[in-house]
Amino acid sequence: MERYRDIIPDWKAFWQAIHTPLPTVIRTNTLRISPEALRGRLQAKGFSLSPLSWEETCFQVEGDIPIGNTLEHWLGYYYVQEASQLLPVTALGPRPGERILDLCAAPGGKATQIAQYMEDQGMLVANEPSPKRLRALLANLYRLGVKCAVVTECPGERFPGEGEYDRVLVDAPCSGEGTARRHPHLRGGAPLGLIRRLAALQRRLLSRALRARPPRRHRGLLHLYPGPGGERRGGTGRPRSEAGRAGPLDPAGAPRPRPFPLRSGRVWGGDGENGAGLPAPLRLGRRVHCRPQTRL
């Protein structure tokens, strides 16, 4: 993690934050139950639930038994999901009746959340190339009772079709460093070779995803971490983004999609590197992350 020192203003606070245990958060599956009814059922079993200040369908939970071991979990009344993991679908803003592609969908946390936003109306294509992870995706879609989803098994960068989707989510495979609070072995940082390979794949996935939207609406929200693609320059340990290093998204010279910044009333965090060094189409991309002061 040392290589991020230059871009994190308060390193001590950051280091403390990644050593602080994560609260358990659940998302009500509103396709099956209301937040109030779920809260009543779990409180009757001895759990204590506090709603998140910014997402009333989700609760921070404390209890003596694991939250995955209840009948309500098996009945698909909720999904255990980190609070920060709720943000991408909130940003995507799916609506009922739309056609939505989730290019990297397993195990289905965000796919099932998308289905909720869609009120189970329209078509959600949930894609996942790993057969093993596909099983978890299917299990979660069944458990939560999602009917609007079609599941496909395809490497995302080769996903067929052009301009067919209203919205596309790319929750690309990554180094996992962002989960260091949950996985202590990642606090030392992921190997740079892995990060570079993943960054290259992420660019191919983004390129594919942006072309899955209609030509006149080629826009997208990019979620850029400095980590993937971060590399040491001149031994200073200063990272820069893969997008900045590697040039345009589409090497074949196809029309470039225009990313746009997310506009929301919330504190989403800054753009980290201020777009410096990024190719023009990417300058409006924004890094989205929970800040230490984000209240659960």
Ligand X SMILES: C[S@@+](CC[C@H](N)C(=O)[O-])C[C@H]1O[C@@H](n2cnc3c(N)ncnc32)[C@H](O)[C@@H]1O
- Point out which residues bind ligand X (CB under 6 A): 103-110, 128-130, 133, 155-157, 171, 173, 201, 205
Q: How far is the CB of 9 from ligand X (least distance, A)?
A: 27
C-beta closer to ligand X: residue 122 or 228: 228
Phi–psi pair at 133, nearest 5 degrees: -75, -25
Name the token pair of 113: 């959340």
CA distance from start to end of the chain: 25
Residues 2 and 227: their CA atoms lie apart, in Å, by: 11
Q: How far is the CB of 174 from ligand X (least distance, A)?
A: 6
C-beta closer to ligand X: residue 104 or 199: 104
β 219-220/258-259 pair status: parallel
Helices (DSSP H) in 154-250: which residue ranges? 192-211, 242-246
Residue nearest to ligand X (CB): 156
Q: How far is the CB of 167 from ligand X (least distance, A)?
A: 14
C-beta closer to ligand X: residue 137 or 284: 137
Closest of 266, 99, 76 to residue 166, by C-alpha = 99
C-beta closer to ligand X: residue 92 or 278: 92
Looking at residue 274, what DSSP letter applies?
A: T
Q: How far is the CB of 216 from ligand X (least distance, A)?
A: 26
Q: How far is the CB of 133 from ligand X (least distance, A)?
A: 4
C-beta closer to ligand X: residue 224 or 284: 224
Q: How far is the CB of 173 from ligand X (least distance, A)?
A: 4
C-beta closer to ligand X: residue 200 or 296: 200
Task: For residue 37, give the H/E element and its range.
Answer: helix 35-44
Residue 114, Cβ density class (10 Å: 0-12 exposed, 13-18 middle, ≥19 buried): buried
Please confirm whether the linkage preceding 107 is cis (ω < 30° from 0): yes
